[in-house]
């Protein structure tokens, strides 16, 4: 049996002659016309449009729904409803893809395949099956042509969003290119099942010594880039609390162990499940089994260290330390950072969280707040931190449901301190004067080095004194934003007018009776209008 493990890569994305991309663009325009996009865009209408546009836009919508720091809250809530289940592909098609990958009849590998799908998502479909040796498995098969469709959409989206870079500053409101790139990177990983197989192998290795943690066995000999065969996990979903209790499980123990393992994934491994919703966590034979390892977050050792520093800064209410961690984690977006405004934003945030005990802090929301502050100060955070924020919000919700007394933040702080939970006194940790002395001591140690650097630079004539007049940037920033909006409106008007002129010509290729270039102009104008709307909404929310 000759198994193919070759999949398309980024270099294989079609660059798009208009006759190929034009068909897709025609479909996109027809969907926008169907939903009367010119009459306004409500949250519900946006969700319905995205669902009709297909998997590429559904993925983008799912990313948008998790970015309340950028998009209006009512839109985020509505986009959370985007369906994950789609119309199943025919069973014959499912079998055809397997045989095409294996280059042999399915009967040579499987003794039985259940015709009713366990799940049918935008990228893949899953069926239960039995191997020839009787082993119970599930088969995950990629939908035909999905890579090509998504690649064409990415090309069109990149062409449309490119116009946004003309208007300086719009990327600080909504970085559409970043969203498209993040979606495409995630989708490529999800469409390469060999990548998911490697994730499962690494997850097993990192958790090999933890007896209460597991993940499905991957049958590598039957796995290709488009077909994944893995162990069928017959267990109890972690949110089925009554069934777990009837089976004799201690919910408190499950909650604590789940939290401990997720903290380990973040703090020790830097390799964590990025989508830990209840459907991806099962209890089987005394084990917590993580499934669907296609979307895993990664943190470098440096990022893990800075994350620990951030948690410590919250515990000690150290504004400077948290500001340093944010600046070290992030990437500056070109504009000069106003450190006084950044400091004030962090100080206000710690004022809010400082009124609560550390154990009551929702770490997922806290990370989301850091992302918001970073975005407002033109600091781009790494993808791993964004994924971690979403993952922590989800896992804290799961833990709160099954075991309200299992405190995620207490377990994280205890893990970082290297102490046992039973010996950890949170109040003493927060109120201890020795902690303040230690923090002051750490800062004092760096003073001689800073003085030495200062003197060295002075001797070499390399020292520059930077003076900032506080408050001088705000009026200029207001004028800058006003000019940006005027420029965007001019570009928007030019796009609509030029597209209308083109629509009156016989320029080819055409579809729906208008030139393709004119349709692309209309599509770009819609995206530009959406960006401007979000910008205005965000400005009002700040006020």
Closest CA to 137 of 237, 235, 229: 229
Residues 6+ apart with CB under 8 A from 80: 65
What angle is formed at CA 125 by the lines to CA 61 and CA 27, rounded to 5 degrees? Answer: 50
CB atoms within 10 A of CB 28: 23
Q: Strand pairing partners for 421?
A: none
- Phi (first) and psi of residue 515, to 5 degrees: -60, 145
Active site annotation includes 107? no
> Which of helix, strand or coil describes residue 85?
coil
Task: Concatenate the DSSP letters of all residues of 338-362 into one string.
Answer: -HHHHHHHHHHHHHHHHTS-GGG--
Q: Which uninterrupted H or E stretch holds 321?
A: helix 319-329
Helix (H, G, I), strand (E, B) or coil at 504: coil
DSSP single-letter state for residue 38? G
Among residues 155, 176, 179, 154, the alpha carbon closest in space to that of 63 is found at 179
Question: CA–CA separation, 88 vs 143, rounded Å?
Answer: 10
| Helix count and strand count (H, E) for the chain | 21, 15
Beta strand pairing status for 271-273 and 281-284? unpaired
For residue 406, give the DSSP letter.
-
Q: How far is CA 132 from CA 4, 77, 94, 217, 268, in A?
A: 20, 46, 19, 17, 40
30: tokens are 């027809």
d(CA 412, CA 424): 11
* Tokens 């850091």 found at: 370
- Exactly one of 275, 347, 473, 480 is catalytic; name it: 275
CA-closest candidate to residue 363, choices 433, 316, 305, 410 = 410
CA distances from 231 to 57, 124, 228, 281 (A): 31, 17, 10, 14
For residue 185, the 8-state DSSP code is H
Residues 393/394/395/401 CA torsion (nearest 10 deg): 110
DSSP 188-239: HHHH-HHHHHHHHHHHHHHTTT-TTEE-PPB-GGG--SSEEEEE---SEETT
Does the N-terminal peptide bond of residue 509 adopt cis geometry, omega within 30 degrees of 0?
A: yes
Q: Determine if residue 467 is left, alpha or beta; phi over 0 gives left, psi from -120 to 50 gives alpha, anything else beta.
A: beta
> Which element (helix H / strand E) includes 213?
strand 213-214
The residues, any chain, with a CB within 8 Å of residue 363's CB and separated by 6 or more, are 311, 392, 396, 408, 409, 412
Instruction: Single out the residue of 261, 263, 292 nearest to residue 278, CA to CA.
Output: 292
Give the residue numbers annotated as catalytic, written as ranges: 275
């Amino acid at each position: 049996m000759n198994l193919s493990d070759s999949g398309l890569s980024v270099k294989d994305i079609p660059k798009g002659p208009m006759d190929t991309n034009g068909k897709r663009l025609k479909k996109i325009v027809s969907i926008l016309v169907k939903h009367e996009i010119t009459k306004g865009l409500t949250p519900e209408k946006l969700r319905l449009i995205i669902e009709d546009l297909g998997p590429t836009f559904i993925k983008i919508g799912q990313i948008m729904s998790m970015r309340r720091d950028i998009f209006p809250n009512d839109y985020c809530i509505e986009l959370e409803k985007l369906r994950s289940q789609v119309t199943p592909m025919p069973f014959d098609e499912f079998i055809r893809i397997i045989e095409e990958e294996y280059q042999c009849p399915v009967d040579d590998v499987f003794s039985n395949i259940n015709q009713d799908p366990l799940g049918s998502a935008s990228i893949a479909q899953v069926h239960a099956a039995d191997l020839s040796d009787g082993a119970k498995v599930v088969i995950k098969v990629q939908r035909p042509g999905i890579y090509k469709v998504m690649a064409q959409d990415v090309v069109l989206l990149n062409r449309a969003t490119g116009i946004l870079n003309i208007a300086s500053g719009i990327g600080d409101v909504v970085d559409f290119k970043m969203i498209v790139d993040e979606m495409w990177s995630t989708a490529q990983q999800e469409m390469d099942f060999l990548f998911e197989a490697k994730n499962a192998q690494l997850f097993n290795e990192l958790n090999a010594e933890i007896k209460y943690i597991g993940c499905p066995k991957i049958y590598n000999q039957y796995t290709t880039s488009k077909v994944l065969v893995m162990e069928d996990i017959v267990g109890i979903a972690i949110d089925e609390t009554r069934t777990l209790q009837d089976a004799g499980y201690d919910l408190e123990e499950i909650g604590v162990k789940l939290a401990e393992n997720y903290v380990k994934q973040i703090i020790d491994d830097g390799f964590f499940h990025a989508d830990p919703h209840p459907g991806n966590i099962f209890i089987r034979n005394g084990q917590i089994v993580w499934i669907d390892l296609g979307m895993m977050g990664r943190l470098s050792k440096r990022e893990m260290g800075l994350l620990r520093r951030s948690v410590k800064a919250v515990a000690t209410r150290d504004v400077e330390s948290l500001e340093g961690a944010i600046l070290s984690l992030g990437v500056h977006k070109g504009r000069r950072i106003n450190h006084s405004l950044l400091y004030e934003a962090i100080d206000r945030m710690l004022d809010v969280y400082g009124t609560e005990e550390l154990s009551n802090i929702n770490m997922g929301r806290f990370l989301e707040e850091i992302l918001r502050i970073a975005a407002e100060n033109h600091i781009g955070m790494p993808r791993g931190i964004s994924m971690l924020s979403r993952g922590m919000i989800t896992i804290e919700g799961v833990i709160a449901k099954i075991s309200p007394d299992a405190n995620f933040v207490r377990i994280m702080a205890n893990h970082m301190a290297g102490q046992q939970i039973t010996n950890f006194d949170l109040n003493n940790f927060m109120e201890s004067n020795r902690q303040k002395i230690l923090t002051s001591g750490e800062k004092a140690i760096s003073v001689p080095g800073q003085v030495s650097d200062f003197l060295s630079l002075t001797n070499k004539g390399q020292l520059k004194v930077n003076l900032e007049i506080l408050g001088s940037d705000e009026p200029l920033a207001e004028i800058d934003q006003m000019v940006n909006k005027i420029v965007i409106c001019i570009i928007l008007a030019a796009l609509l007018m030029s597209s209308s002129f083109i629509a009156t010509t016989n320029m080819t290729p055409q579809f729906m009776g208008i030139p393709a270039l004119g349709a692309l102009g209309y599509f770009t104008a819609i995206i530009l209008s959406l960006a401007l709307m979000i910008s205005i909404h965000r400005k009002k929310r700040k006020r």
